[in-house]
Chain A
Amino acid sequence: MASDNIAEQMASKQRDISVASFFEKNRHLLGFDNKRKALLTVIKEAVDNSIDACEEADILPEISVELIDLGNDRYRVIIEDNGPGIVKKQIPPIFAKLLYGSKFHKLSQSRGQQGIGISAAVMYSQLTTGKPVRIKSKVKGKPEAHYYELHIDIAQNKPEIIKEETMGWEKEHGVRIEMDMEASYQGGVQSVDNYLKETAIVNPHITIIYTNPKADQTIFARAIDVLPKKPIEIKPHPYGLELGMLMRMLKDTDARTLQSFLTNDFSRVGPGTAKQICENAALLPSTKPRDVSREMAEKLMEGIKNTKIISPPTDCISPIGDVALETGLKKEINAEFFCSVTRPPSVYRGNPFIVEAGLAYGGEQTAEGSITVMRFANRVPLLYQQGACATNKSVVQTKWKSYGLSQSSGSLPQGPLTVVIHIASVWVPFTSESKEAIAHYPEIIKEIKLALQDVGRKLGSYVHKKKRIHAESKKRDYIKMYIPHVAEALQELIGDSVDQEKVKELLSSILEEERGELQSVKVVNDEYDEELAKIGKEPKESQTTLGENEEEQKAPGAEEK
């Protein structure tokens, strides 16, 4: 009797946990661990979405980001784009319903993936300030813009419309988002500033107008007027499937038989392959997809595993391109040597991907300490969790010693080097929902390492050449040191008819002729943008001059008297 009562009591407490309330309790999974990171995450999600939308609509993106300090660690974030806009009925779910979006259901290279990002940002804003998110959207050709103020109904994961109206907007089309949130604004590598800068570097086709909380405006101007090759949407490849996804696809499909489900909803599966899969799974090709049970789905997975299927098409990936990558690096770093490579496409678990790597060596970079690694996934800068990232592992496992850098085993190499790694894929595997580190798939690590070896070899031959030139110039300097002595002694030996200056000049030219022209390794970098390079760097601590220090040291003594 008692136990029944307890079960009843428990049952009264058991209910659906909405996605929204789950994430409310686990916000760190989405990148809202602390105030500083939250600000970055919000801007990142909004900007990524804006760029994706513009590109999809063939519009050269122009994005304005504005931060306003409201005091008490509260900031207003305003992001406005010139994208295609969002149709009225989609505005509430896109911004106020978690896991709602277009990107999760299709496979194509895009910045955002899961459709969690922007609504999570809205939720964070709501949780920390209680204020609704303000959205203005205008679709091309429409006379007026739609304006919404939205809350998320956290218990039910659905939008709650606070205010809704139409208004005029001088813009032809676009979206403007405004939200207030608890945040902390700081400089440094993991700052909003640096994120926007790195975004500009790998996306030379966009313009970002950024106004920071101190009301300083920076314009990251568009460098090329061509949109990147549009990524092609592909159907998933069977090898990339997970059970849950397969079951959802079985539920959603329009196909009437397993056979047609396999051929229609997947890439690289023809009727023959479909039959083969069914045979290996011991399922009838005529089975209705809706009738497939969990056990049958597991059999189907097994069947896929045991069937040989051609790799997915790889022309769906749009890399940055080695030239554009190098140009971006040159703007950022005043180095002596740059090189970059775009690897041929490869596949992990049925997902095509491309790895690109670039590096900048020497110049104004400090020779002490570890190298700098800049990471990008689908043109989005990754600023957190470098240590957990596949790129980091690949850099550590690459033997930089043979390329002229020092490196102790199991750590990053040392030297004046910046390495850029970009992975583009229809589905970039991150280690967590906050999309900060790329998962350690062996295929991906292998490709990154191959890319690093490629640029590393070029670096190696440059570093060795530089060492040779350095040694040669040291030798010449050494020889030249003694030329005046030869001239002086000859004058002492022969008399004043000897012109010392002429002897020095002739000996120097004989030396040049004998040893050949000395190649120079000076920094020649026309692309370098000093202002840009400063953005996102840790502000230097204000230095006290020597005189001031002395005064400070004297002060205690004076007090004692």
Chain B
Amino acid sequence: MSVGKQIKELAEGIYNSILKKKQPKIESPLRSLSNVRYDEKEGYFQLIGKMKERNLTVSTIKTFAQTLRMMALSKELIEKEDIATKREAYYVSKNWNEARFSEQPESDTVMDDVEAMLGVNREQIGFIPEEKGGDIAGKLIVVDKDPDSGKQIKIDCTKMGSGAYSIPSSVEQLKFETNAKFILAIETAGMFQRLVKHNYWRKSNCILISMGGVPTRACRRFIRRLSDDKNLPVYVFTDGDPYGFGSIYRTLKVGSGNAAHINKFFCVPRAKFIGITPDDIEHYKLPTHPLKDVDLKKIKDLIKNDPFIKHHKEWQKALTKMAKIKVRAEQQALAKWGLNYVIDKYLPDKIKDQKTWLP
């Protein structure tokens, strides 16, 4: 069934219940970590079926009306084969008088709910994010279409010089050509720059991806499609801190609570964490920063509430260790042993030795 038809049917269901003088309601899956479980076989977070309901009550009527209006906007976009960025959708709502959104996060939330209700991702209902997907350099040719002529164009990511190819917000139409041996997903742009500058991808025959913090949906989808298509292992390299483990790596690998309804598409179950692990901090005698209270709290929270961490003893051990040593280390701390130590020694060693990875 097309998404447009699905939207119309949902609306008709609401209309019919009104005609029957029954309290109309809209149900959408609860998008939070409390409504997911880690499915080891599939390799990502799956919804466990908690729903939230919106109807004619004081606390939900506004979002009830906004959800319907958002659905109407989406239907219009689909029919006209148009798109709107999340920000544009927020501005469209300014025509809705008392039903308008006062801040963009509100409209993003309603949009995510519509998405979750329909079980599709937001590109399918006509909305796209503004954020960049991430940067690519290395042994990869991306096959895309020219937006005007529709002609196929090939982008060679080895020929970006000191720059990089930018992942578009929608990646479904892309095709790939590569003979690389693995994908290395990197947290910081700084580390990415160093590896690009010194042609690390050529030496180790790989594709480098800069995630720039928590990877966007487009970035996750890109890595997923590329690694599935070309059957490539994915190695993740972040700072050695709870944010790198629990937010960046966890989201890339198994998805998030907030987007649980679409994790299926936006996860990379085959990703492995190569560093920086708490063991690395000791082993490489890295310069450290003391953990702040928020970091310790995050570690506690991960161990207690994150279904992914709860599933993996190794991660619990690593996090417990970090809580004990009470320090964290950045990727670039490796520069202590020389600017190119990371290229010459750290990465080759780590990629070679699976025992030093985390699941």
Interface residues of A (CB under 8 A from B): 475, 478-479, 481-482, 485-486, 488-490, 492-494, 498, 503, 506-507, 509-511, 513-514
Contact = CB atoms under 8 A, between A and B. Distances in A.
A507 B75 contact: no
Nearest to B68: A489
Residues of A contacting B: mostly: helix
Interface stretch (B55-63, B144-152, B345-353): B55-63
Given A485-B65, A485-B68, A490-B68, A511 B56 contact: yes
Nearest to B76: A492
A245 B58 CA distance: 72
B98 A481 contact: yes
A467 B61 CA distance: 22
B195 interface: no
Contacts of B23: 510, 514
B225 to A, nearest CB: 32
A479 B56 contact: yes
Given A507-B18, A514-B23, A482 B72 contact: no
Contact of A482 (B24, B65, B75): B65
Contacts of B11: 489-490, 493-494
Interface string B88-129: 000000001111000000000000000000000000000000
Contacts of A494: 8, 11-12, 15
Contacts of A492: 69, 72, 75-76
Given A503-B18, A510-B21, A493 B65 contact: no
A475 B61 CA distance: 11
A397 to B, nearest CB: 40
Contacts of B18: 490, 503, 506-507, 510
Contacts of B58: 475, 478-479
22 contacts: A475-B58, A478-B58, A478-B61, A479-B56, A482-B64, A482-B98, A485-B65, A485-B68, A485-B96, A486-B64, A486-B65, A486-B68, A489-B69, A489-B71, A493-B11, A493-B72, A503-B15, A506-B19, A506-B21, A510-B23, A513-B21, A514-B23
B77 interface: no
Nearest to B63: A482
Contacts of B358: none
A493 B71 contact: yes
A167 to B, nearest CB: 80
B22 interface: yes
B355 to A, nearest CB: 56
B14 interface: yes
B7 interface: yes
Contact of A498 (B15, B65, B76, B98): B15
A478 B60 CA distance: 11
Interface in B67-89: 68-69, 71-72, 75-76
Contacts of A479: 56-58, 61
Contacts of B75: 492-493
Nearest to B71: A493
Contact of A507 (B7, B56, B71, B97): B56
Query: Of B15, B23, B96, B99, which is in contact with the most chain A CB atoms at under 10 Å from its CB?
Result: B15
Nearest to B66: A485
